[in-house]
Every structure is written in C-alpha cells, then in structure tokens.
A and B are shown apart, each in its own frame.
Chain A
Amino acid sequence: MYAQMVKTASNRVKTREEMSPEEQHFQDKIDNDVKIEPKDWMPEDYRRTLIRQIGQHAHSEVVGQLPEGNWITRAPTLERKAILLAKVQDEAGHGLYLYSAAETLGVSRDELIELLHEGKMKYSSIFNYPTLNWADIGAVGWLVDGAAIINQVALQRTSYGPYSRAMIRICKEESFHARQGYSAIMKMAFGTPEQKKMAQDAVNRLWFPALMMFGPSDKDSVHSEQSMAWKIKVKTNDELRQQFVDQTVPQIDYLGLERPDPTIKWNEERGHYDFAMPDWDEFFNVIKGNGPCNADRMENRRKAWEDGAWVREGLLEHARKKAARKVAAE
C-alpha cells in the first residue's frame, strides 16, 4: 500500500521442480517462518523486488511529510503544532529505518533518492492529494495513518529480517499518529456546524484515496502471487482494504458524520461491511504522475535535496579535514 504496485520479475510462481536446490532451501526457510538476513543467499528477483518495495515504502514516508508539513505553521494551537511537528518528525524516522533496511540489500540511500527524483521510483498515491485545511490534517492522521497501520502490522511478519524489524519499530510509533488525527477530527466533528462541515468534507474527499492505498483489487494485482509466496506480502490488497473499512466505519459513525460512501452496508452473512471500490482509472492516473499534486511534491523533494547539497558536502569535507588533522597530530 505504501508500496502499491511493486513489479516482480515474473508473474508466475515457480513449482518446486523448477527450483534449484538453493531456491528450494530458500523457500523452505520462508515456509517455516525463518527470517532471511542480509548475507543469506536469496534469489536475485527476491532482492530486486524487495528493493523496489522497501524503497517505495521509504519514499512514501518521506513524501508523506509534505502534505502535513504544509500545516505545521498554521496549526490552530501551540499544542497541536507541537504534536504535528512530532508526528512529521516520526515520518522522517520511518523513512530512515526503511532506507536502512533497503541498504542491506546492496543499494545506497542516495541512489534510491535519486531514482525517486528522476521519476524512476514511485511512492504512495495518497500523497498526491492536497491537504486543503486543518480538518484534512485530522483526517490524514486518522485515515491515512490508520490505513498504513493495517498494512504495516501485517508486514511485521514479512520474511526479510531488516524489513520486518523496521515494521515493528514503525508500528510502535504509528498509533500515536492515528490517535492524534482522530482527536483532531473529533474536535471538529463535535465543534461548531461550520467545523463539522469541514470534517465531513475532509472525510468525503479522503475516503476513496485512502482505499486506494491498498492497491488494485486482487483480481487485477498481477504481482501479488510471487510476493505472497515469498512472504514479502502477507495479506492481499482486498483483505487489507476490507479490514480498514470494517475498522473505520464505526469510527465515522461515532463522529456523527455521514458515511462518505452511501453504499456502505453491514453484510450479516459475510460479517463485513460492503462498500464501493474507488475509481481505479483515477488511481492509475495518479500513479502515472497525473494526480493533483504529483508535480508539486516532486518539485519540493528535488528542491530540498538540491538546496541541502552544500550542507551535506560541507559537513563531509569538515569531517575529512578533522580526521586528517587528527592523523597528523598522532
């Protein structure tokens, strides 16, 4: 979801007979829930798929700071400002944990960042939607981080050790994100009629983009099968999406807001809510780069990276000189 459309090299899972002895041994470890560690043998496709997935996930954490950072200076109270600042800082940390996990696979963080800036890597479609007002910030924490939690809790069991450990660390911090969001939206939903209207509007606009975070429907998700066999993915897109809807609908009801999708209905037989799928054409369009904020987000990312270059280079040069002086003195 933070990695919505990760390409794997093959669309078909190899049968046991087609596997080399090394591949068989590798698959046995995965089937027995033994974690794969950086120096262990792994199929080249597993390594490449993971780099793509963890990289996309890391980029999403970092780009995800932009729509929220937008509101730090305009938070309604000093307390809300401090909270939002702490939340956004956490996301920078999440990006870092994930880049570190990707680096154990033999790619460097700077390489990944450059691939993102060149448009060769993706990040979650959700961050290409704008945050228009303070209610959106509440809704983002509640819905977007809420969706992220569902995905990331599942990924704690992923087969690659460093990725799994990053997920465990991240999950510890995420529930603060969702709760601060819900608390902000509660204030609005139970506030003046004007505030309540803003809360409703935010939920209406962000609901379907939040559902898109889990990626295309299973029937259209061509890359899932191999990822499931490798336990890079632990649950399917539709399973995770259903879990999100089931968890969130009562939270919407509690706020006294209208459900953003009038077709949402409890299905006694299934034991789940029925709901409408988002507009997948819109989703693929946003993924392709044509969402409302894609160009803006990438421009800001590139600018931050380029404007920071002299600091990174200066500090490195300073460190080199300091080390040289130390050697000379010895």
Chain B
Amino acid sequence: MKNEWPLWEVFIRGQHGLAHRHVGSLHAPDAETAILNARDVYTRRNEGVSIWVVEAKHIAASSPSEKGPLFEPSESKIYRHPTFFDIPEEVGHM
C-alpha cells in the first residue's frame, strides 16, 4: 500500500524500576508521533513512566530454524543453575 505509515515497536518501563518491556506496536509517520501515539494507546492506565519506540524494520530477530543451534547448547549445562549444587543445611542460607 502506498503512503502507509511505518510500523513501530513500543517498549514501556513501568513504575517499579524494571527494564523497558515490549508491549505492542503501532503505525506513525515519525518517532515523535510514535511516542505520542504510544502514550495514548499503551499508557492510559498508569502503565508506564518511560517509552521507547523503534521502527520495526530495524529489529533483527533470530529465526525459528536457528532455535536448535542457538538454544540447545544451554540445555545440557545444568551446572549453571544454583540448584545444581548441594550445600549442607548446617552451612545456612546461600
């Protein structure tokens, strides 16, 4: 379609100091308007204190076919989790 506004992905940081989180997307002609639209659509009930927008075409994503090579290697490395190690109860909380 010609003259369609580009798509932006919207990230919002909530009240409690957590990282910005992806909340959805919207169309806007430019970044400034995208932020204003994001304010109107995604923060009408105090959902956030900060907004990031990025044009969707600038996001690079892993592809589902890479799922195996990318994520399987970590499956076998259970020693990376604290629960792998038995610590005697006498030692106390660790």
Contacts and interface: CB of A to CB of B under 8 A. Distances in A.
A39 B64 contact: yes
Contact of A96 (B26, B33, B45): B26
B76 interface: no
Interface in A248-276: none
A110 B7 CA distance: 12
A313 interface: yes
Contacts of A173: 45
A100 B26 contact: yes
B86 interface: no
A111 B45 CA distance: 31
A122 to B, nearest CB: 21
Contact of B5 (A89, A169, A312): A312
Contacts of B44: 86, 89-90, 93
A183 B63 CA distance: 49
A108 interface: yes
Contacts of B45: 173
B24 A100 contact: yes
Contact of B30 (A96, A109, A166, A319): A319
Interface of A: 37, 39-41, 86, 89-90, 93, 96-97, 100, 103, 108-111, 114, 166, 169, 173, 312-313, 315-316, 318-319, 322-323
Interface of B: 1, 3-5, 7, 24-27, 29-30, 33, 40-41, 44-45, 61, 63-64
